[in-house]
Chains A and B, each alone.
Chain A
Amino acid sequence: MKRTFLLEIVMVAVAVAFLFPVYALITLSLKDPAQIAHSPLSLPAPPTLDNFGKAWTAAALGPSLVNSTVITVVSLVALVALGSFAAYYLARAKSRMGYGLYILFLLGIVLPFQLGMIPLYQLVSDLGLIGSHTGMIVFYTGIQLPFTVFLYTGFIRALPRDYASAAQIDGASHFTAFTKVVFPLLRPITGTVLILNAVFIWNDFFTPLLYLGGSGFETIPVSVFAFVGQYVSDHGLVFAGLVLGALPVVVAFLLLQRYVIKGFASGLKG
């Protein structure tokens, strides 16, 4: 009992030290420039909310929030739809082609996207999709499909075939058997697919910087990057922008923490 108590104290102390950057982040965002210059590490006295209003407008966080949401949500819908359909075939096909296609999809987990980065940039720009939601949605759907297909295929292989077969004996087509019978059974893995892909897409930076930088369609990380570059010396303002930029994902995490941690703990993010 005594040992557990000691460990508890040690772990809480570690957590407090771990949270030091977060303490700095929040206290600085509540200070005016004079306070920051004077006493950077003390508690804000008195706290001010001025930075938040200014940061919201200066970082264009309203429009960015819309852009990030549209891109993330549509990409997720496309990933779940295309990924689960493809996996249904890949998991159930007995042909050599089915196996070959599965290996072809797995190859995408191994290939780092940097290899195709420049030809893809050229392709997207030839199609006139630079600076558009569509370009980003197609990109995320393609780049995350191998991982999504991998998760779904493994899960479907472990499902008994009987449900779908029963529906088919009743006359349902493969399409109906999948959408009405199999897909609802995929709920647990769909949850994992949604969480892992959502965190990746929401926070991704490199590609949206290339495709959306300066277009007016920036996602949150790209807007915050531009904003910090512009107001670099005004720490209170910068930190208010960081707090606001991180808030949606942190709130979502706190609400869904059990599922998020479980999804990541499966250790599959490639």
Chain B
Amino acid sequence: MTANIARGSLPSTARKPWRRFSSLSPSWVFALPALLVYAAVVLYPSLAGMVYAFTDWSGIGADKSFVGLANLTAMFHDEQAMGSIGNTLLLTVTIVAVQNGVGLLLALGVHVRLRSRAVLRVVFFAPVVVSPVMVAFLWKYIYNPDPAAGLNGLLGTHVDWLGDPSIALWSIAGTVVWQYAGYSMVIFLAGLEGIPPELHEAAMIDGAGTWQRFRYVTWPLLAPSLTINLMLSTIGGLKLFDQVFAATNGGPGYATETLSTVLYKQAFVFGKFGYSTAIALVLALFVAAVSMVQLYYLRNREVAQ
């Protein structure tokens, strides 16, 4: 103890009396290492990306010239790229609606004091922590066209879940919903746990039925959880890559191409780095629009706390 004081704080105050009056705010040097890494990995490349989107860069050497809006206009005539925008939006809307609908039902079921609730919560959440690529490979087998195997064997159907272009996109949405419904569930559960039980008791005394209590007590108070869930699933849907890449690689034809798979192929298969970056810019605009709303919401909640 004595040794500690002797070595530590007291003498240093004696040596540097000014420190006592120094600012109570730490120096900006604290943020410098983080800022440098962040600038190198995120800020500089993102800025460069915004510039590259208007060039014809091939990725080899520094050879590139400005082509103005040519990459963006080329996108409008590119069947694969335009199709991928439609697919991405359709996938996103489907995933957002189904994942959150299922997640809410699971949360309402697990919120009741069932004997198995702890186990159920772990079971439904478990796929969230597994790599999406591995989940996609598992489902690729489940979607086996063989009528005796996988989902066909279970349901007695004869469907080519991933090979039929009119079904493949919905099958991929199914994989994503299976993996992440438990994620929506735990966010809704946290919301449900925050609702004071007295509110339900008061509504019951007033004669409200199950549906009325859900509609007028639970649902309005779940608004914050719903907002978070909508944001997370929308951003996840817009950026979807791993599941598509592993299950269909965009096929059959262009039936399941998303913005992320197309920009990957344009860069690393066809070497059109400028064009690929232009597609990334379009994706970035979609994602940024949604993220801004999320950030605004999170910052407001932070203030409210």
Contacts and interface: CB of A to CB of B under 8 A. Distances in A.
Residue from the set B45, B129, B283 with the largest chain A CB neighbour count within 10 Å: B129
A41 interface: yes
A19 interface: yes
A118 B280 contact: yes
Contacts of B190: 265-267
Interface of A is mostly: helix
Contacts, number: 305
Interface string B92-124: 000000000000001001101111100111111
A88 B29 CA distance: 11
A172 B9 contact: yes
B75 interface: no
A41 B153 contact: yes
A47 interface: no
A215 interface: no
A145 to B, nearest CB: 5
A253 interface: yes
B242 A205 contact: yes
| Interface size range on A against B | 35 or more
B269 interface: no
A216 interface: no
B42 A146 contact: yes
B69 interface: no
Contacts of A254: 122
Interface stretch (B140-148, B157-165, B197-205): B140-148
Nearest to B42: A108
B186 A142 contact: no
Given A7-B114, A101-B35, A89 B288 contact: no
B26 A89 contact: yes
A93 interface: yes
Interface string A247-270: 001101110010011001111111
Contact of A40 (B44, B110, B153): B153
Contact of B131 (A90, A123, A203): A203
Contacts of A106: 295
Contacts of B241: 205-206
Contact of B9 (A86, A161, A170, A245): A170
A117 B49 contact: yes
A165 B19 CA distance: 12
A149 B189 CA distance: 26
Given A101-B28, A205-B242, A10 B38 contact: no
B54 interface: no
B133 interface: yes
Interface in B200-231: 225, 228-229
A18 B223 CA distance: 27
A86 B29 CA distance: 8
Nearest to B287: A112
B123 A141 contact: no
B284 A98 contact: no
A71 to B, nearest CB: 14
A173 B16 CA distance: 11
B246 interface: yes
Interface string A1-20: 00010011011101100111
A30 interface: no
A221 B228 CA distance: 28
Contact of A120 (B31, B41, B153): B41
Interface of A: 4, 7-8, 10-12, 14-15, 18-21, 24-25, 28, 40-41, 78, 82-83, 85-86, 88-90, 92-95, 97-98, 101, 104-120, 122-123, 138-139, 141-143, 145-146, 149-150, 154, 157-158, 161, 165, 167-174, 178, 199, 202-203, 205-206, 210, 220-221, 224-225, 228, 235, 238-239, 242, 245-246, 249-250, 252-254, 257, 260-261, 264-270
Given A89-B31, A228-B137, A267-B187, 11 more contacts: A85-B31, A86-B34, A111-B288, A112-B284, A118-B49, A141-B41, A145-B42, A157-B302, A171-B11, A203-B132, A221-B131
Q: Lowest 5 CB-CB distances: which A-B pairs, in order? A: A142-B41, A116-B45, A171-B13, A119-B48, A86-B34
5 contacts: A94-B25, A117-B45, A246-B131, A264-B125, A267-B225
